[in-house]
Structure formats: structure tokens, C-alpha cells
Structure 1
Amino acid sequence: MSVIAAPASRPLDPRKFGDPLVTAKGEARAAVALSALRTLWVNTGTLCNITCRNCYIESSPRNDALAYLSAAELRDYLEEIARDALPVEEVGFTGGEPFLNRDLPAMLREVLSRGFRALVLTNAMKPMRNHAASLLALRAEFGERLTLRVSLDHHSARLHDLERQEGSFASALEGLAWLAREGFRVHVAGRAAFGEEGEAAMRAGFARLFAGHGIPIDAQDPVALMLFPEMDAMADVPEITTACWGILKKSPDSLMCASARMVVKRRGAARPAVLACTLLPYDPQFELGATLAEAARPVALNHPHCAKFCVLGGAACSR
């Protein structure tokens, strides 16, 4: 998941997001309890085949801060889900570029054979195509239980390539079109704001792109085409207090940390760790434990991304 820089905004007040219990104004900070673990995210590693201008997780061909997770390490968490009868429905794979991890096909087979849905976030470039045979076998066996969400930051090559690198749009679109031709269930992730362009224009542009390449995605469907809000941890944003739920008429259960956790393997670590969500892989206050049971505790909304992306932006990485 990568981000086009948003227009200049007021810098973050340094007094904010310092205390997990209270805001800079001394008000009680909101926290979100895990109501039910529905989605388990797996970070397959931060290595990526490209370097984006503004990647929130700093993925690149050189960044291995999050190491490759192995199929055996994932199996331990799947066994915990089975043993504790956790209500997990979907396992999502993110990176980096997940298809650089050679264990990904084995992990997908393990997840799908246990009856879960699987979602892979990919740039659909060469690393994905290198696994074409394995993907086709998985599609033949498990059908629409496997979804691939392709990152296209914009419906034009110029703006997509400005973020990712020259030629990446053509390569990603070729991969997306291949997935569509082969009958995979495909979604697309784009950016909600490019300059002055609004959501309606963005969806219309994507609709034209999909129609022109025979890609069966409904651009008006907010799940099939997710347009994520911009993320800038240095831009000012309100802190979320316990009073905000009533003011915003929003339930804490609607946030992804109420129903999701993410497994990562830090470089040099003896074992994986479980984090509160996909957006905060490096902030130690969001590392909740080594097991899903240890990670089943409330999460204080003590980061700008909690406010802008999740509460105010209304976004979620899964459906």
C-alpha cells in the first residue's frame, strides 16, 4: 500500500499522541476492544520489487525490517485459531510484495484448505506472474475464496507512475488483466485524493479503465474498488476521545482493530509477533504479544493514523 503525498497541511502538534490514556487536552483517549477476531493479516515481509515515493511501510528491494514469514510460522497461528475456536473468516497477506516470499503459495493453500477466505495485496507485477502456475492451481481448486487486490494508485499511468516508478502502471495493468482473463476474483486499491480530483471522478476514471481492458470490477463498489484516504503521520489531525463515538455517531466495533490483528516477523527476532493492525508495523506500543490470545486486548487510538485513516477516514484494509 503506497501513498501519494497529500496537499500541504498544518504540521502535527507535538503535544498530541503522547499518552495512551489521555489526549493533549487531558481528555480520556478512546480505545477499541477486540470484539471478535474476524481477519488475520499476515505481513509476508517488507521487501518489494519497487520503491514507491511515499510508502507507509517503507517497502523497497532493500528494506527487510520485517523478514519473510514462513509457512510453518503461519501454521502455528492457524492451529491457535482452530484450538481456541476463534471466529476468523479471512486471512489477508500484505507486504512488501507478498509474491516475493516463496512460501506464499504454500501459505495460501494452507489457509484455503482450512476453509478460510484468502486475500492477497499485490502490485501484480513480475513477482506475481512468476507464481502463475501455483495461482492457477489455487484458483481451480478454491475458486472465489481467493481474492487478489491489485494496487493501482490512479487510473492514469502518469499519476500512478509518479508514485511507483516509470512503467509500473503498464506492468500492473497487464497483471490485473491476466488475473481477470484467468477468472480470478480481483479487486483494486487506489488513492482517494489526487490533487483536486474527487471520488466520483476517480471512480468514473477507473470504470473507463476497467471497461477498456475487459476487467469485471464494478468501480462503484467500495469493496471491489477501495479508495484509501491519505496517510501522513506528520500532518495535524484531531485526537479521538471517548466522547467522539457519540459525536461522530460511530461505533468502535466498526474499526479494523476491533476485528483484526496482524502477524509480522521482525528481522533477527526469534519468533513472530502480533500487532494491532496493518498500518503501524514499527510503533512498539502497537505490538500486543506473541500469540493471538496475548493480542486480544484493547488498543488505545494513540497514533495519527488511528484518527485520520480509520475513525475520520472510515477506511478498513479488509471488507
Structure 2
Amino acid sequence: MAHPGAIPAHRPLDPAKFRDPRSTAKGEPRASVAPIGLRTLWFNTGTLCNITCRGCYIESSPRNDALSYLTLGEVEAFLEQAAALPGASLREVGFTGGEPFLNRDLPAMLRAVLARPGGLRALVLTNAMRPMRRRERELKALRDEFGAARLVLRVSLDHYDAAVHDLERGEGSFARALDGLVWLAREGFTVHVAGRAAFGREDEAGLRAGFARLFAAHGIPIAAADPVALTLFPEMDASADVPEITTACWGILGRRPEEMMCATSRMVVRHRGAARPSVVACTLLPHDPRFRLGATLAEADRPVALNHPHCARFCVLGGAACSR
């Protein structure tokens, strides 16, 4: 039996695809993305989570420690590295998991970000359940000291209908997440919501209308039409075949390399058993060794070949981004 923290390879249906970082299965030059300056630095605080979702792209769960907890000292060290990068213009620091609030250092990590010169924003991706609620006092202290505008809590709410949401995250999870979201709104925090674009049967307009009704009913000040305040992420179906992205695709699709997440962001992770953290290309690919770019942000400041189905499905074709 596989270790409970093991991560599947998620190889494409066609095994010839996404193999060579330089060229596609058809021999065409593969697209890559060159860094244009670090604007968003992500920390995966660990893959442990208080719930188990059916479609979690990194299979976070109460037993999955494939990515170990980062420490406050490690976060502070990488913040110093970011400040020293030539041409860097860091604006935002994001925390994801797992459930970030399971990491006891998270409030101190947030303080380390918010206290730095330059007015950095901090973004936390959370399910807003018990781990977050246990940190209410620390969160309110950060809000009072640094202001609500610079600390954003993005709550995962897959759908506006409880029954649909609970199919993915477990019975009763919608009610617990909504309760946390309402508490954040009532306490004056800046709140965003992350949903899923193809999770229900509606089109995007229908989904946003449904979320708007939910927000209005509970006094949650989120503009459902705002694609940042309500982010609807595309599905990441590992069983669906996707095309490889060639250099010609930029012009064909009307997209630009500098629009991709990996042009302006990197993520720090600590793999289980590793002596120290490493830097990966983006939040979607913490486990694939081909996307481990080095032990420092300086080493990771290099082009990224779009050599994974997620690069095509989520970023280039899906048009999604984990940050603003």
C-alpha cells in the first residue's frame, strides 16, 4: 500500500506528451516562461489538512505530510532573499497548504510579512474551519495592528449550494466554512472566495449569480462579479487529455508568457525528509521534481518549460492565476 502522503504522477493519457522540456511529442518547440520579476512569493506551510477532499490536487488530508511544516525562521529567510533579488518587486506573500492554520507558526509568519517595509500584502488560502477559528485572537490582533486591507483571507467554497459543495469536501463542510466566512466578514477582515468554475451545471454567469445571492443573504461584502474577490478556478481533471503548449500557441491563443503565474511567482516548500526547503515553479506543482528550481530564490530565477498538463489546462487554456 502506498504511503498515505504519496502523490500520484498524474501523467497525461498520451505517454509521449510532456516528456521533453524542449519539444513536444510532435517535435514542435515547447513554450517556456521567463521570469520578469518576483511579485508573489508563496509558502506551502504543509500538506496536512483537517479535511479530505475528493479532488484535492495535492491530496492534502489529516494524514498527508508529503510536504512538511515550514518554520517561521525559514519564511523570514526567504523574505530576506526576495528583498535582495535584483529587479524584484515583491507585492504579495501567499500561504497555502493543506490548511495553513494547522501550522502553529502561521500567525507569526503573517506578522513577519506585514511588518516588513514596503507594505506587503498577505494572502491566506483557508477552508475557514476550526483551525482558523482557533486563531481568532491572533487574527484580530494582526488586523488591528496592520489594517484589514493588507491581510486577505481567501475561503474555499466550491459552490454556493451546500449539497454540491459537500459532495467534494464532506458532509457538513459547507456549513462550517460558511460560518467561518461570516465571522471574518463580521469582524471586518478582507475576504475573498475561491470556487470552481465547472463544479455545478451553470455557466459562469449562473455561478456568480448564485454566489451573489449567498453573499447577500449572509451579509458578506464580496462582489461576486469581481474575478479576484470571487475566483472561479478551472477544473484540473488528470484523466482528461490536453494539448501541449508550443511557442506558436502564444499568438494563436492571444496569450503572453508574462501573464503566466511562473513569470512573477515562486513557491517555497519543504518535502518530507528534506534537510531544507526548496523553491518550485508554482503552487500547482509542488511534487514534480522537474519543477524544483533550486534551494534559493536566486537559483529559481530562471525560465520554466511548460512541460506538464497543469501548465496547459490551468494556466494557458484555463486562464487562471492563484494570485491577483
Alignment TM-score, normalising by the size of structure 2: 0.94
Is 1:126 equivalent to 2:133 in the alignment? no
2:283 aligned counterpart, secondary structure: coil
Alignment correspondent of 1:88 = 90
Aligned residue among 151, 162, 165 for 2:167: 162
In structure 2, distance between residues paired with 1:265 and 1:276: 14
Q: Deviations over 1:84-116 (max 9, x none)?
A: 352111000000000000000000000000131
Per the TM alignment, residue 141 of structure 1 is displaced from its structure 2 partner at its CA by: 1.2
| Structure 1 segments unaligned to the other structure (5+ residues) | 1-10
In structure 2, the gaps of 5 or more residues are 1-11
Structural mapping, 1:137-216, within 5 Å: 137-143=141-147, 144-216=149-221
For residues 139 and 281 of structure 1, the distance between their equivalents in structure 2, rounded to whole angstroms, comes to 30
The amino acid across from 1:133 in the alignment is: R
Q: Separation in 1 of the partners of 2:100 and 2:288?
A: 21
Shift of 1:82: 2.4
Q: Does 1:34 align with 2:40?
A: no
Q: Secondary structure of 1:159's match?
A: helix
How much does 1:71 deviate? Answer: 0.4
Residue identity matched to 1:41: W
CA apart distance, 1:195: 4.7
Whole-Å separation in 2 of the counterparts to 1:270 and 1:195: 43
In 2, Cα distance between equivalents of 1:281 and 1:181: 34
Counterpart residue number, 2:60: 59
SS in 1 for 2:211: helix
What is the letter of the counterpart of residue 73 of structure 2? Answer: A
RMSD, aligned α-carbons: 0.9
Instruction: Verify the 8 A CA contact 2:164 2:200 in the aligned structure 1.
Output: no
Give CA deviations for 1:193-232 in whole Å, capped at 9, x if unaligned.
Answer: 1253211110000000000000000000000000000002
SS at match of 2:194: strand
Q: How does 1:228-267 map to 2 (within 5 A)?
A: 228-267=233-272
Tell me how many residue pairs correspond in the alignment: 309
Percent identity, aligned pairs only?
75
8 Å CA contact 2:159, 2:200 repeated in 1 = no
* 2:140 paired residue among 136, 139, 157: 136
The answer on whether the counterparts of 2:83 and 2:90 sit within 8 Å (CA) in structure 1 is no
- The one-character-per-residue Cα deviations of 1:250-294 (angstroms, maximum 9, x if unpaired) are 110000000000000111111000000000111000000000000
Check the 8 A contact 2:47/2:67 in 1, yes or no.
yes
Match of 2:26 in 1: 25
Measure the CA separation in 1 of the matches of 2:191 and 2:172: 21
Cα distance in 1 for residues equivalent to 2:26 and 2:200: 33
CA distance in 1, matches of 2:120, 2:199: 35
Q: Quote the residue 2:113 is aligned against.
A: 111
Q: C-alpha offsets along residues 272-319 of structure 1, whole Å, 9 cap, x if unaligned? A: 000000001110000000000000010000001000100000000000
